[in-house]
Copies of this chain bind each other. A is one copy, B any other.
């Protein structure tokens, strides 16, 4: 049995891929929201009352949770005396991955997910790649054969999947935060119309793109902040400047209060970024998903 910890939208979709391939897959339902309960049921996951009971029944634990929570979750699993394979699929720094690997030794498999939550019955190739590294990577990848999860093993070291995910998200989510920061900067300096006019001449995609990222990142910003901190730590550990993603973390942190809003536009995002009193806390539950 594979125990998923703790499935949000992405985790539930990965779980559905495992269930669709005939793998018994569980999760720990205690204390999770009604929306998460419904999603887990739809994915065909069976619930356990406690982490301890789930781990007793599992020979593999697969962690898909907010990056800030990944290390503490791994420690909880270790404290329960879990003896199976531990897969961390989170957007964490290689240093965080190595700290988790140290808890499980050769039973650790490093993972990194790139793309949207996978879906069965969508025509064409999969758009969700689950990169895996470590001694047991090929065995984990085999679980997803012919599923909507395109699992790929990496030849690199035991943190290679995490390193790849950090490099990838450093660009996509870093640039989105930068665009929002620049829109806020233009607003503060009274040159928004001038900037949009110049962009229409020389950077034609940016007026629409900088507006669209407010809508696409707004609901997820609370979670992106933690991911940006992991990326900043990755740069620092490599002797490279961490400032890009410290800045990105700050932008997303200020937007964290947008999590529960229905339709988020550029004005909402700019207000949250420019009003430093706003922001909002992080939450422990992983309601959310798109990567």
A185 within 8 A of B: yes
Q: Once the chains bind, are B247 and A154 in contact (CB under 8 Å)? A: no
Residues of B within 8 A of A181 (CB): 170, 235, 240-241, 244
Query: Is residue A246 contacting chain B, with contact meaning CB distance below 8 A?
Result: yes
Q: In the complex, what's the smallest C-beta–C-beta distance from A163 to chain B, in angstroms?
A: 4
Q: Give the residues from 166 to 184 in chain A that come closer than 8 angstroms, CB to CB, to chain B.
A: 166-168, 170-172, 174-175, 177-179, 181-182, 184
Question: Of B194, B239, B243, which is within 8 A of A276 by CB?
Answer: B239
Cβ-closest chain B residue relative to A276: B239
Give the contact stretch, choosing among A3-11, A40-48, A69-77, A199-207.
A199-207
A198 contact set on B, CB distance < 8 A: 114, 129, 131, 164, 168
Contacts of A175 in B (CB 8 A): 175, 178
Residues of B with C-beta under 8 A to A203? 171-172
Chain B residues within an 8 Å CB radius of A174: 178
Q: How far is the CA of A138 from the CA of B175 in the complex (A)?
A: 36
The 8 Å CB contact of A273, one of B184, B195, B240, B245, is: B240
